Amino acid sequence: MTKKRQILFSVIRGLLAILIALLVATLLIFLSADGGSFGAKLSATGDALKQLLVGPLFRMGRSGAAFDFKRLTDILASMIPIIFTGLSVCVMFSANQFNLGAEGGIMLGAFTTGMVAVYVPMAAFLHPVVGVLVGGLAVAAIMLLPALLKTKLDVSEMVCSLMLNYIIMYLIKYLMNTYLADKTKGQIQSYEFLETSKIAPLIDNGSKLSWGFVVAIACVVLIGLFMFNTRWGYTIRMIGINQAFAKYSGMKVATVIVLSQVLGGFLAGIGGGIEMLGRYPTFSWSSLPGYGWTGITIAILAGNNPWFVPFASFFMAYLTKGCELMATYANVPSQLIDIIQGVIFLFFAAEQFLSKYRQKLVVKTAQEELATKAALEAQKGGAEHA
Partner 1 sequence: MPDEKTGRLDEEYVVQMKGITKVYPNGVAANQGVDFNLRRGEIHALMGENGAGKSTLMKMLFGLEQPTSGEIWVNGEKLTLSSPTVAISHGIGMVHQHFMLVPSLTVAENMVLGMAPRRGLFIDHAKAVAITKEYAEKYNLHVEPEAKVMDIPVGMKQKVEILKALVRGAKILILDEPTAVLTTQETVELFKELRHLKEQGYTIVFISHKLNEIMEITDRLTIMRGGRSMGVYNTCDVTKEEISRLMVGRDVILNVQKDKAQPTDVVLRVRDVEYVNEWHKKMLDKISFDVRRGEILGIAGVEGNGQKELVDMLFGFLTPNAGTVTMQSENILGLSQQKLRDKGVALIPEDRMLYGIAGSASIEENLISDRSAEKRLNRGPLFNMKAIHDEADKLIEDYAVLCKSRKQQVGMLSGGNIQKVVVAREFSGNPLLILADQPTRGIDVGATEFIRKKLVELSRSGIAVLLISADLAEVMELSDSLIVMHGGKIAAYFEDTSTLTDDVMGEYMLGLKAQSEEEIRRVCHD
Residue nearer to partner 1 on the CB measure, 78 or 235: 235
Q: Reduce the DSSP state of residue 249 to 3 states and report it.
A: coil
Cα R_g (the chain), whole angstroms: 24
Size of the site for partner 1 (CB under 8 A): 29
Cβ neighbours around 358 below 10 Å, total: 18
Q: List binders of partner 1 among 175-234 (CB under 8 A).
A: 225, 229-231, 234
- Binding test (CB under 8 A) with partner 1, winner from 205, 286, 328, 355: 355
| Nearest alpha-carbon partner for 270 in 87, 119, 75, 74 | 87
Return the beta strands (E) in 86-240 as ranges.
none
Member of 249, 286, 334, 372 binding partner 1 (CB under 8 A): 249
Distance (Å, whole) CA 225 – CA 341: 29
Could you tell me which stretch among 88-96, 250-258, 297-305, 337-345 binds partner 1 (CB under 8 A)? 250-258
**Three-state secondary structure call for residue 142:** helix
Stretch that binds partner 1, among 104-112, 127-135, 337-345, 360-368 (CB under 8 A): 360-368
Q: Which is nearer to partner 1, 248 or 311 (CB)?
A: 248
Q: What is the DSSP letter of 65?
A: E
362 binds partner 1 (CB under 8 A): yes
Select 14 or 303, whichever has its Cβ closest to partner 1.
303
**Integer Cα distance of 290 and 159 in angstroms:** 18
User: Minimum distance from CB of 255 to partner 1 (Å)?
Assistant: 10
Residue number with CB closer to partner 1 (27 or 374): 374
DSSP states along 258-311: HHHHHHHHHHHHHHHHHHHHHH-SS----S--SHHHHHHHHHHHTTT-GGGHHH
Of the two residues 31 and 244, which places its CB atom closer to partner 1 in the complex? 244
3 state DSSP class of 70: helix
Residue (17 or 251) nearer to partner 1, CB: 251
Among 138, 246, 298, 332, binds partner 1 (CB under 8 A): 246
Residue 297 and residue 303 in contact, taking contact as beta carbons nearer than 8 Å: no
Query: What residues between 56 and 95 interact with partner 1 by CB under 8 A?
Result: none
Q: What is the DSSP letter of 177?
A: I
Interface pick for partner 1 out of 82, 95, 220, 238 (rule CB under 8 A): 238
Q: Which stretches of the chain bind partner 1, using CB under 8 A? A: 1, 225, 229-231, 234-235, 237-238, 241-242, 244-252, 355, 358-359, 362-363, 365-367, 370
